[in-house]
Amino acid sequence: MRFPFRFSDMRIRTKLLVILALIVTIFSTIVLTEVVSFQRIENVLGRVISDDMSNVMTNALTERELTSIVADLNLLLGTFFENDTHLQNEGARLLGATRALAGKVARSELEAPLELFGQQMEFLLQQCREVNIQLRLVGEAAGEITAGFDRLDEVIAEKLIEATLVDEDTDILQQLAILLVGYRQSLLEIGKQHAERWPEAYYAPLDTDDDPMIVALNDLDYYLRTLISGDRQIVDLGQGVINHLQTYKSGLLALNAAMVELKKQMLAVEGIRFQATEIIEKFDRDVVQAIKAANTKVLSTFSVAEATLIMIALILIVTLVVLTMLFFENIIEKPMDDIRKGIKALRSGNLDARIDLQRNDEWHVIEEALNLMAAELSTSYADLKMAQSFVANIIDSMPSVLVGVDPSGRVTQWNRQAEKVTGHSPGYALNKPLDQVFTDLSDQLSSISTAIRERRVINSPGVARKVHQGIRFEDITIYPLVADGIQGAVVRVDDVTERVRLEEMMIQSEKMLSVGGLAAGMAHEINNPLAGMLQTADVIANRMLDQELPANRRAAEQSGISMKAIYTYMDARGIPRMLKSIRDSGQRASAIVSNMLSFSRKSENIVSNEDMGTLLDRVLELLQTDYDMKKHYDFKQIQIVREYHSGVPPVTCEAGKIQQVFMNILKNGAEAMAEVAGPPRFVLRIKEDGQWVRVEIEDNGPGMDDITRRRVFEPFFTTKPVGQGTGLGMSVSYFIVTDGHGGEMSVESVDSGGTRFIVRLRKPNRTS
């Protein structure tokens, strides 16, 4: 007799049912035997779970929620300063959470401590609001003091100017100006002490007699009260600053008192939390004792059932082993071997391999799933290769040098910028020591080891490196790899040469501001002896050459020599010419000092009506005395052609800034003309152009190509060698003319050779 189906074609579930039927028969005996024993265990455990374990869970949840509330409260106490909105919202949330927690443990020993915890938290949050109020008052008082100092500066400066113009004594005003600088420094130091000590030092009372910050405030108050001036306005302003300083000091003391009270409230809240925690711990100890008693009962019950279970289990184990071996050999092992062979082929790289089990049971479903997975794996592998290529493209497109290294210092990643800087391809650099393929990073190996060991970022800003063009500056940042257990680091190198140059230029700008102040003082000191020299020369000329002077007539009568003969004698020796030369030289020196003083004076955004021709002439006089320019070219040797049209109205502008524009154009032109043969020449034109006043400065230098002409006004663009010039002169000039004065500035080439800069400024409104 033949069966209509094969055993191998039976579903695994059917095969398992047959085996399970045998197992159930044996296992039923065990169940019936152990029902009574386990019933007793169930009763004991049920009582433990229903009573004691529920208490454990409740206590654990309560403690966790209370700990979370306390943690959030501590975080709020460190971040609420000057943030009332955050304090209000977060405080309301924490109060709500505390009340909800108290409701969950109603009618228990925890209810009263939690309600008290919520009440004390309300007092604590109210004290936080009080601290913020005092902080605002202190900040407002500090702002008022600074504003008072600013107003005093303005008033003293105005009075200094007025006194200078009427030639009054300015010593007191100058002393007041110097004192104000010291007062400002004292206020800054007080503010610094406050910032450094906030908020930790404020939790303890400040010593109003010996505390350095309070002493500094008292000293500043004392010095301000000694402010002496006969001017009522300055005295009133000084008194206003003193009043605000008193408010500032009172605010600091009130803030300190509020912080001390805040600390008391914090300790009170912490004490209540400790009470609640102790109650929870007591509950837990009671539950542990109950669980120990229940455990003793359970162990005794298990001891009775253990012997029976061992005997029946041995019978069951033997039966299961036999059935399992038969089942495993026919149902599990053979299909698994076929699957292992297919997976091994996939692991070897043959993603086109497929599994063929030739079965119709559940293994057929697994077979289809594995084959589908193999097909998807092949597709995913192709997608992964594409993603890796995309990531590599991103890394290679970055302007920074990116180099990955392992803990031993060998290269694991090498982007295109690294290849460009070192000349080494990724294929050559990978797996080689970093100091071998990137020698400029050899001194960073210890920092790389430190970053990997301590798992922190190490930044080395502004590292200088010599290149064939000069010196470059680089920011070197080392990032440790901390994800997925990967060890190593990524080194990023950014070229910051332009930024360093900009910082150096800012420092040079500050130095030039100081030079301007020195120039003003020197001009004042030089003008006084110059005036004496000119006056003395005039007196000598009058006394020696005036024939009508009584002393000269008496000298002529006594000597018997006529005044004409005396004059002829002196003229033959060039004395009149020498005196005239002294006067001319003194007047020229006075004019140069005056121009230098006008040009170097700090800009205060003061506009005035200025004649463009006069401004150009002043700049030319300054350039003719520029010693630095004479080392390269003598401006006096340049021919100046002036084509100033008559009737051109003055322009409302900031004279110093417009002079800076003219000076930048003329200096650049002079440098350009020094590179070509032939006599250098500037043609200066000033004329009206509709609503504009048009100023043209034309040189006969080599001119500009189209690329240079299009980029001449870009910041940092320069045609000079590295280290000579900043590339900011023309961009600053363009900014002064266009943004600062609403004008226009352009450049064009001259047909006969050379360059012409055109500056157009608006004529003043005639109706204004």
Listed in sequence order, the DSSP H helices in 51-110 are 54-79, 84-104
Whether 191 is in a domain gets the answer: no
Domain check: are 472 and 409 in the same one? yes
Residue with tokens 């910041």: 715
| Number of separate domains in the chain | 3
SS (H, E, C) 221-289: HHHHHCCCCCCHHHHHHHHHHHHHHHHHHHHHHHHHHHHHHHHHHHHHHHHHHHHHHHHHHHHHHHHHH
Cα 63 to Cα 73: distance, rounded to the nearest angstrom = 15
Q: Is the pLDDT of residue 105 over 80?
A: no
Helix, strand, or coil here: 175? helix
Domain check: are 552 and 433 in the same one? no
Cα 327 to Cα 331: distance, rounded to the nearest angstrom = 6
Q: Are 269 and 121 in contact (CB under 8 A)?
A: yes
Q: What is the pLDDT of residues 392-407, one digit of tens each?
A: 677 777 778 888 889 8
Cα 476 to Cα 164: distance, rounded to the nearest angstrom = 54
Cα 762 to Cα 768: distance, rounded to the nearest angstrom = 14
Higher model confidence: residue 617 or residue 212? 617
Cα 615 to Cα 656: distance, rounded to the nearest angstrom = 9
Whether 180 is in a domain gets the answer: no
Max Cα-Cα span within the chain: 177
Helix, strand, or coil here: 701? coil
Report the CATH number at residue 724: 3.30.565.10
Report residue 563's pLDDT band, with 50, 70 and 90 as the boundaries: low
Residue with tokens 């350095």: 212
pLDDT score recorded for residue 290: 64
Whether 140 is in a domain gets the answer: no
Structure token pair of residue 447: 């920092």
| Domain end residue (candidates: 602, 621, 646) | 602
Q: Which residues pair with 755 in a beta bridge?
A: 749
Report residue 737's pLDDT band, with 50, 70 and 90 as the boundaries: very high
Mean pLDDT throughout 671-683? 84
Structure token pair of residue 569: 């004698």
Domain check: are 574 and 597 in the same one? yes
DSSP string, 383-404: HHHHHHHHHHHHHHHSSSEEEE
Whether 225 is in a domain gets the answer: no
Q: Give residues with Cβ within 8 angstroms of 425, minimum separation 6.
A: 419
Instruction: From 478, 451, 450, 453, select the one nearest 463 (Cα to Cα).
Output: 478
Mean pLDDT throughout 38-62? 62
For residue 317, the one-letter residue type is I
Q: What are phi and psi of 319, to 5 degrees?
A: -60, -45
Q: What is the pLDDT of residues 489-524, one digit of tens each?
A: 898 888 877 777 666 666 555 555 555 555 556 666
Q: Is the pLDDT of residue 40 over 70?
A: no
How many Cα atoms within 13 Å fall on the side-chain side of residue 22?
A: 14
Whether 343 is in a domain gets the answer: no
Instruction: From 478, 401, 411, select the one nearest 446 (Cα to Cα).
Output: 478
Q: What is the pLDDT of residues 705-725, one digit of tens each?
A: 888 888 888 876 676 665 556
Q: What one-character DSSP code corresponds to residue 9? A: G
Q: Give residues with Cβ within 8 angstroms of 357, minimum separation 6.
A: 335, 338, 339, 363, 364, 367
Cα 334 to Cα 12: distance, rounded to the nearest angstrom = 14
Domain check: are 477 and 576 in the same one? no
| Domain end residue (candidates: 447, 475, 495) | 495
Q: Which of 74-88, 450-464, 684-698 has the lowest mean pLDDT?
A: 74-88
Structure token pair of residue 556: 């002529």
Whether 754 is in a domain gets the answer: yes
pLDDT score recorded for residue 509: 53
Domain check: are 483 and 572 in the same one? no
pLDDT score recorded for residue 3: 46
Q: What is the pLDDT of residues 143-179, one digit of tens each?
A: 888 888 888 888 888 888 888 888 777 777 788 778 7
Domain check: are 502 and 488 in the same one? no
Max mean pLDDT among 113-127, 279-293, 369-383, 601-615 falls in 113-127
Domain check: are 732 and 767 in the same one? yes
Instruction: From 731, 719, 628, 737, select the one nearest 675 (Cα to Cα).
Output: 719
Residue with tokens 């005039």: 538
Report residue 649's pLDDT band, with 50, 70 and 90 as the boundaries: very high
Instruction: From 261, 211, 244, select the one nearest 137 (Cα to Cα).
Output: 244
Q: Is the pLDDT of residue 211 over 70?
A: yes
Report the CATH number at residue 473: 3.30.450.20
Cα 255 to Cα 134: distance, rounded to the nearest angstrom = 5
Cα 85 to Cα 98: distance, rounded to the nearest angstrom = 20
Domain check: are 698 and 744 in the same one? yes
Domain check: are 408 and 455 in the same one? yes
Q: What one-character DSSP code corresponds to residue 763? A: P
| Domain end residue (candidates: 465, 495, 525) | 495
Domain check: are 594 and 617 in the same one? no
Domain of 510, in residue numbers: 498-602
Max mean pLDDT among 7-11, 305-309, 352-356, 402-406 falls in 402-406
Q: Cα angle vertex 49, ends 48, 51, to 5°?
A: 70
What CA dihedral angle connects 555, 561, 564 and 567, to 10 degrees?
-60
Mean pLDDT, the chain, whole residue set: 77
Domain check: are 446 and 588 in the same one? no
Q: Is the pLDDT of residue 117 over 90?
A: no
Mean pLDDT throughout 581-606? 62
Domain check: are 467 and 549 in the same one? no
Q: Is the pLDDT of residue 379 over 60?
A: yes
pLDDT score recorded for residue 1: 45
Whether 405 is in a domain gets the answer: yes
